[in-house]
Structures are given as structure tokens and as C-alpha cells.
Amino acid sequence: MRAHADRTSPRTVLASGICALILTLGVARFAYTPMLPVMQAQTGMGEALAGWLAGWNYLGYLTGVLIVSRLRDLMLKDRLYRWGLVLAVLTTLMMAMAQTPLLWGLSRYLAGLSSAAGLMLGSGLILNWLIRHDHRSELGLHFSGLGLGIVVGGLVVMLTAPLLDWRGQWLGLTLVGALLLIPAWRWLPRPDHGQPLTSRHLEAAPEPAPLWLWLLQGAYVCAGFGYVINATFTVVITEQQPLLSGMGDWMWLLVGLAAIPAPLIWDRVTRRLGYLRALQSAFILQCVGILLPVLDGSLWAAILSAILFGVTFIGIVSMVLTMVGIRYPSHPAQIMARLTLGYGVAQILGPILAGEVAELTGTFDGALITVASIMLLGLLSLQTMTWVAAPRRPRTE
């Protein structure tokens, strides 16, 4: 076993995580965004149902996070992670099976479970492997899979649109997901390969004071609201602009392109500014991106909004989860899950409320202004964290 682990390249392990994120997030989850206007046009789906389906997806994600928060056994985490990869393919296939809200809702809920496996379990397993084998504990390259997932899912939808109906497009996404399953499964070593975490690994990263974690959790809840409206409705919001008809898919693709290098960029920013200052910068930039469609309906404003969203939402996730992994090396998945619970609640409530309001008012402006205000509260929470006392002594258990 040890010889096998020593031959494993960190690039191969990170590549497995990238493929897993493209599958469980890009295909099983994010592809719903560019598919949304297609399904609305071909099936008569309304804004309210679209929001409820997104809400079911985030409820499934939250359920997955709750399950992850209870896990301690690395081998069990590994098994559930691999089941999540298979579930991502099956739930994508379910979207093409029948034109019924019940099946769609079940698909979105189960896809949320698979997303939690890919993001929470996968990130924790990969970070654990990197730390145990004395590699740099940065997940920027790994989290680039989120941006790649948006691009891959968006391209599949765009390229198949002239040739296939909505069912055929979901089948095309299923095929892509099945291909991604292979490297995502094979390239991540089992947790019983290699050395376990030692006191040397744990002592290098003292845990912060409890208040520090609560403030971070509050900021991450706010980030959940900032993320979810754009992640669900970017294409629809763009298409509602009188001058931007037909540009929605391109804006979503631009979000993905901006997100690909974002984690690596924020890795470098954090080296210069530290995690908290970098997170504060990301929150400010995201507020600007959220408000741009409200203030200006031009193409340049839509492009800048898409870029800012892509760069910041993935940067926030990457920085928060990486920081948690560094500060809590003995149990990163559990702390990641705790933080993501609040993030998940925001993801459930956000699209449902925004969809209902948009159907009543015919615009997403009110939702966007509210979300920008919530992000400012998150910024205040991050600023408060800089005043919290220095980290307490590391855990010894």
C-alpha cells in the first residue's frame, strides 16, 4: 500500500478532484442553470417551479452536508464520496426520464446529495491526502473544477441546443458525466494508503477561538445568498434585459471561464493579504457585480457582472474551505459541513423567494438589491473577525 501511495502524484490526486467537481457540481447541479430557459420554453415551466426545483436541489445539498457533519471514519467517507459520483450520473439521467415536476424535484434533491459528496467529502479527502504526504495544503487547483464544471455544462447545453430537444440535452450531459466518473473514481487513492495524520501535522495549525468560527459561519451564510441568486438565475436575468436577448448562455459561460483561474488567483492574493483581507475584497467585488444588472442594462455591465460573479463566488468558497482545512487539519470535513449548513439554508430560501417575487413583479431587481445588502452584512462579520483574539492552543486529542 505504501509503495502505491508513494507513486501517486499530487497532480493526479488533484485531477481526480477536478473531475469529481465537474461531474457533481458542473453537470449534476450547475447545468440546470443554462438548461432552465430551454426547459421553460419547451415544457412551459414557470419561474416559481424553476425556483422550487432549485430549492429542492439545495435541500438535497444541505441534507448531504448534515450527513457529512456526522462522519468520522475516513473509509466510510471515501465510500460515500464514490457513491456520490455514481448518483451524480443517475440524477442527470433522471431529468430526461419524464416531464413531471415530482421526478424533476426528486432528481434535483438527489443531485444535491451528490454535490455535497463531491465538494465536501472530496475536498476533505484530497486535503487530508495532501497534508499526510507533506504537500502544500492549498486547494486552488482543485477548486478550479467548479469553474470548469460551469464551462463544461454550459458548452454541452449550447452545442447540443441546435440538434436536440431538452430531453436529448440532458442525455448528452449524462454521457459527459459518465466519462468524468472514470478518472474521478480511479485517480483518488483510498484513505488507507500512506501515513496517517501525526502530531506534527496537527501542531502546525492551531485552531482559532470559537467566536472566530461563529463569525466566519455568519459571513458564509451571507455568501450563500450572494451566490445562489446568480447561480440559479443568471441566464434568465440576462435574457430579461431588452438589449441582451439570446446572450444568457454566453453570460453563464463567461461566469465559468472567470471561475476557472479564480481559485489560483485568490491563492496568490491570500499569500499577500491573508485570508480575511482577501475574503473581504471578494465580498466587496461580488456586491458590485450583483448590483450592476440593476443599475445598467447594457452588454458591458452584464459582462462585468458575470466576470465578477465567477471570480468571487468560487474564490469565497475556495478560501473559506481551504482556510478551514488549514485551521482544522484533524477534522476538516466536519467544520466544512458546519459552515456549509448555513450556506445551504441560504441556497434553499434564496431561489424560492426570488422566483416567487420575480413571477409577481416581472423583475429580479428587488432580489438583487436585497442580496447585495446581505453581502454587506457578511463583510461586517469578516471585519469583526480581524478583531478576535489570537488562536487558542491546538487540540491534542
Name the one residue in this structure whose C-alpha cell is 415530482: 102
| For the chain, domain boundaries | 2-385
Q: Cα 392 from chain centroid?
A: 30
- Residue 367, CB half-sphere, CA atoms under 13 Å: how many? 27
- Amino acid 5: pLDDT: 43
pLDDT confidence band for 1 (50 / 70 / 90): very low
- The hierarchical CATH code for the domain 2-385 is 1.20.1250.20
Q: Is 362 left (phi over 0), alpha (psi -120 to 50) or beta?
A: left
Q: Which of 44 and 137 is assigned the larger pLDDT? A: 44
58: cell is 439545495
**Three-class SS of residue 392?**
coil
Name the one residue in this structure whose C-alpha cell is 459527459: 176
Helix/strand/coil percent split, the chain, to 5: 80, 0, 20
Answer whether residue 77 shows pLDDT above 70.
Answer: yes
Do 21 and 143 touch, CB atoms closer than 8 A? yes
**Cβ within 8 Å of residue 387, ≥6 positions away:** none
**Percentage of the chain exceeding pLDDT 70:** 87
How many angstroms separate the Cα of 267 from the Cα of each of 79, 270, 304, 325?
30, 5, 22, 14
How many angstroms separate the Cα of 378 from the Cα of each of 139, 283, 355?
23, 8, 23
Answer whether residue 322 shows pLDDT above 90.
Answer: no
Single out the residue of 84, 74, 82, 80 nearest to residue 192, CA to CA. 74
- Amino acid 205: pLDDT: 52
Q: Residue 247 is inside which H or E element, if any?
A: none
Do 202 and 394 touch, CB atoms closer than 8 A? yes
Q: What is the average per-residue pLDDT within 68-79?
A: 86
Answer whether residue 64 shows pLDDT above 60.
Answer: yes
Question: Can you tell me the distance from the alpha carbon of 93 to that of 174, in angstroms, rounded to the nearest whole number?
Answer: 6
Angle at 115 (CA atoms; ends 80, 339), nearest 5 degrees: 95
- Amino acid 379: pLDDT: 94
- 283 DSSP assignment: H
Number of CB atoms found within 10 A of residue 390's CB: 8
Do 169 and 38 touch, CB atoms closer than 8 A? yes
pLDDT confidence band for 382 (50 / 70 / 90): very high
Do 55 and 351 touch, CB atoms closer than 8 A? yes
Question: Nearest 10 degrees: CA dihedral of 46, 50, 52, 54?
Answer: 180
- Amino acid 305: pLDDT: 86
Ranges 5-9, 64-68, 211-215, 221-225: which has the least confidence: 5-9
Ranges 3-12, 118-127, 240-249, 308-317: which has the least confidence: 3-12
Q: Which of 366 and 256 is assigned the larger pLDDT? A: 256
Concatenating the DSSP letter of every residue in 19-70 gives HHHIIIIIIIIITHHHHHHHHHHHH---HHHHHHHHHHHHHHHHHHHHHHHT
pLDDT in tens, 95-121: 998 788 899 999 999 999 999 899 888
Q: What is this structure's pTM? A: 0.76
Question: Can you tell me the distance from the alpha carbon of 226 to that of 218, in angstroms, rounded to the nearest whole number?
Answer: 13
- Residue 251, CB half-sphere, CA atoms under 13 Å: how many? 31
Name the one residue in this structure whose C-alpha cell is 477536478: 18
